[in-house]
Chains A and B, each alone.
Chain A
Amino acid sequence: MSSWKREMDKHFGEKNYFTIELERKILQKAQKKNHFKWQYPVSLLATCAVLFLLIVTAPNQKEKVVKQATPFETMIEQSSAEKFYIAGRPSSREEFLVRDSSMYLFTKGYNDREFINEFMHSMILTESVEPRYGNYTDIIVKMEDGQQLKLKVFDFKSWLGVIDLQSRLFYKVEGPSVTKFQHYIEQAKPKTGMTVILATAVIILTNLLQQTMPKLLHLPKRKKTYVNKAQLVVSIILSIGLIMGLLLLVSSSYIVHGFIVAAFAITFFGTTLLFEYIFAKEEKYYIVQLMTSVIALIIIFIMLWML
């Protein structure tokens, strides 16, 4: 024993600073702390429930077909079209899956005035051959005077059948507009290949970051991915919530605004980050989580923009 240690121990003397009361207090707290941390999963479940309700109770997704007659011919004579939006996903006869903003998923907006005006002027009223089943393409045409035309288009390959949703009248389009419109439909379709590549990139990049960042930041090596059972439970609930949310968002009958998906992604990564901080603050792994989340969010936003 060094003289330093002797001197210090002499200073502290024989007195016990770690008293029985203190020991009892710690034991009591330890027993309390041993209880399952129900607050975390419950609060998380509540977050998921709120998100779920938010999406379910979002503005009416399946827009009902209005049957009031509005003279389409008068409308195109009075004003000209300035923009049109095409739904990237096919719709059934009863639903209308496009909105007047490119911010919605699976919706593409085009400013080709010349084409859309030419297209509308080539629409000839004809006897309805409206197919009962099949895939329609929904479009909204925005007129200069603020009016909107809601059309459902059926591709008969050599010609197009167009239904004006307000009057329910059936029109036929032939000529050069057909090929050009078919080209726009192709363009508006979601780029599945690129989406798969980006989704794979998210998984690979986040894994790579989680492997390399701790080494770069000189963080202590983690033996387990989760520091305790509560974090594992929270992660499982979060993953279930995320999968449920994503299934709901990409299901065919939902028209989702990009902000909802962005809010969903931010909530997911934010909660993961928060719980990483709560459970393993000392290990400083939340820095890794923060970096991973930022990269993942950037790629997800690119994906949304492409959809």
Chain B
Amino acid sequence: MKILEKTICTLSDIAKWIGMAVIMIMMLITTVSVVFRYLGITFIGAVEIVQLTLVTAIMFGLAYTHRENGHISIGLLVDHFPMKIQYVFDIIANVLTLFVCLLFSWFFFQAGMKEVTGIVTKTDLLAIPKYPFKFVISIGLLLWGLEAILKIVVSVINFGKNSPTNLQASKELDEI
């Protein structure tokens, strides 16, 4: 179990660092393209690079956001239930998240594979193939799903022990 947790956390961390880097790149590329424009230099493909960095930042941010409980949910009703019942709702919410993530990840894996084995679509100016970024979406969603699995495990453990639900996955899993 520890290995599973460590693997998921490492993968999410790698995604997080890539996400952080591309946000910085997005800022620099856009700023440089503005400066270049006023210097009379054309920065060909700046928009395309920003588009591809945006999709990378979004998809690689999803899993980390889930780990940090950053995805907004409304606890108005469930927060008033006994803790055991709350764990059950947490498990349901994470199972649904897992289902959506795996389904969509599969959609994008197929879409990427379709291009790898067929016609490769490319961006208009820089002719960058789009399929690697379809795999990025697939990986990002898969990682989000994996983080949901960790949360399910934590909720199941908490359900058995009646301990606080907001404990970090690592602390709980260490005890397994």
B is bound to A: no
Which A positions have Cβ atoms within 8 angstroms of B?
none
